[in-house]
Amino acid sequence: MEKVLIANRGEIALRIIEACREEGLFSVAVYSEVEREALHVREASEAVCIGPADPRRSYLSIPALIAACEITGADALHPGYGFLSENPDLAEICEAHGITFIGPSAEVLRLCGDKVAAKEAAKAAGVPILPGSPPLESEEEAQKWAEDLGYPVLLKAAAGGGGRGIRLVRTPEELKALFSQAKKEAERAFGDDRVYLERYVPAPRHVEVQILADKFGNVVHWGTRDCTVQRRHQKLVEEAPAPALSPKLRDRIARAAVRLSEAIGYVGAGTVEFLVDGDDFFFIEINARIQVEHPVSEMLVGRNLIREQLRVAQGKPLGYTQDEIELYGHAIECRINAEDPDRNFLPSTGRVWIHSLPGGMGVRVDTHIYQGMPVLPYYDPLLAKVIAHGEDREEARTRLYSALRRFQISGVKTNRDFLLSVISHPQFARAFLATDLLERIKPSQ
């Protein structure tokens, strides 16, 4: 493996470019016609345009990506997160063309992408799962399962992920109204209309485990992360380790994640996600890619997870055991998005003008913004991730508050002030976390 094509954009593309440089590999950036001046295009060893602004004809086009590999001689492809990062067809086609796909095999990606099959694999590995139905063929079948599970229930897309394709159903009337609608939306969004029901857990914690596995069967975890602070099932604030959990419970969750990863033959970096309800935890899904929130784990472990992905893809062993991983301190991350809280968080477009960016002890900013950069309507609104690390959670939280205050840009609306109000709220400060936190505290916008 000598040259890596990065099938992505934004801050994650920059992270991969930097990791390639550290690992002594050449990098190839791809870009759409409207992103010729993007920072990842400037920083890569070389760059190639793969199509127009519409992601379906550029970043989501497998033929365009494979052609870019052939044109540039790239012998590996890193998908980043989002876009085609969990697409088994891309992994399969890469293999057919002799291109190393930096991620799990197509077989594992298909398993992880099917939420029902992944739950069955977790159950077989002895990992707790929430009671639920198989994929449902009819509304009548759904009504029967909902009665057996007990209302309220969650109606979920079997091929969904990232918080998409989820509906809370409180009554039989709601299920009747939502069932066919959910199937149609699942088909449009994921190309798969299968839906299923799952028992609803009110106000749980959302806890995940970062795992890393090599091609020799070695699997380790980098501890837990808490991603409970969410809006519309989308994560806003992430931290590691998951606070307010006993060391024993954290260890049980982490061991379950490793056990499942070993059982399915996982290779690479991935995240196993759980709901935590008191002292009980239940498997949700496996994100078979690098996560947006991976920097908080890096801050605790002191290793570059992207570089670890590259090393594993080259066939190198991990080189360390679980006992040799030491987690130090606490880290918290906020996602700064180009969106307008005063307009129900609608995406905001314009040009970015930077007035101040944070830095200093224990502060990290992962971003792709530059002075005058256009924020376009075609892509994810993520502008930056601001991460703070401290000896304990309160030190990390205080540092993050100061860092967010120093993150000052204009030209587009952002959720910075909203995030400031969340992390400064007494309930967040005391780690009184649950998925209904934002409803309880009603942070200012």
Residues 6 or more apart whose Cβ sits within 8 Å of residue 344:
none
Residue-averaged pLDDT of the chain: 95
- Res 185: pLDDT: 87
CATH class for the domain made up of 3-102: alpha beta
- Whether pLDDT at 164 is above 80: no
Q: Identify the band that residue 438 occupies on the pLDDT scale cut at 50, 70 and 90.
A: confident
Sheet holding 26-32, edge to edge: 46-51, 26-32, 3-6, 76-78, 100-101
- Res 364: pLDDT: 98
Q: Which fold has domain 131-199?
A: Dna Ligase; domain 1 (3.30.1490)
Residue ranges covered by each domain of the chain:
3-102, 131-199, 205-441
Residues 6 or more apart whose Cβ sits within 8 Å of residue 251:
none
- Whether pLDDT at 445 is above 70: no
**Looking at 29-33, 100-104, 159-163, 378-382, which range is the least confident one?**
159-163
Sheet holding 330-337, edge to edge: 280-287, 268-277, 205-213, 219-231, 234-240, 330-337, 382-390, 363-367
User: What pLDDT digit, counting tens, does each position of 207-249 carry?
Assistant: 999 999 999 999 999 999 999 998 877 899 999 999 999 999 9
User: What pLDDT digit, counting tens, does each position of 294-345 carry?
Assistant: 999 999 999 999 999 999 999 999 999 999 999 999 999 999 999 999 999 9
- Whether pLDDT at 444 is above 90: no
Residue 311 bears catalytic tag = no
User: What pLDDT digit, counting tens, does each position of 377-406 carry?
Assistant: 999 999 999 999 999 999 999 999 999 999
- Res 189: pLDDT: 77
Q: Does the domain at residues 205-441 carry the CATH identifier 1.10.3720.10?
A: no
Selecting among 9, 289, 311, 364, the annotated active-site residue is: 289
Contact criterion met (CB below 8 Å) for 136 and 145: yes
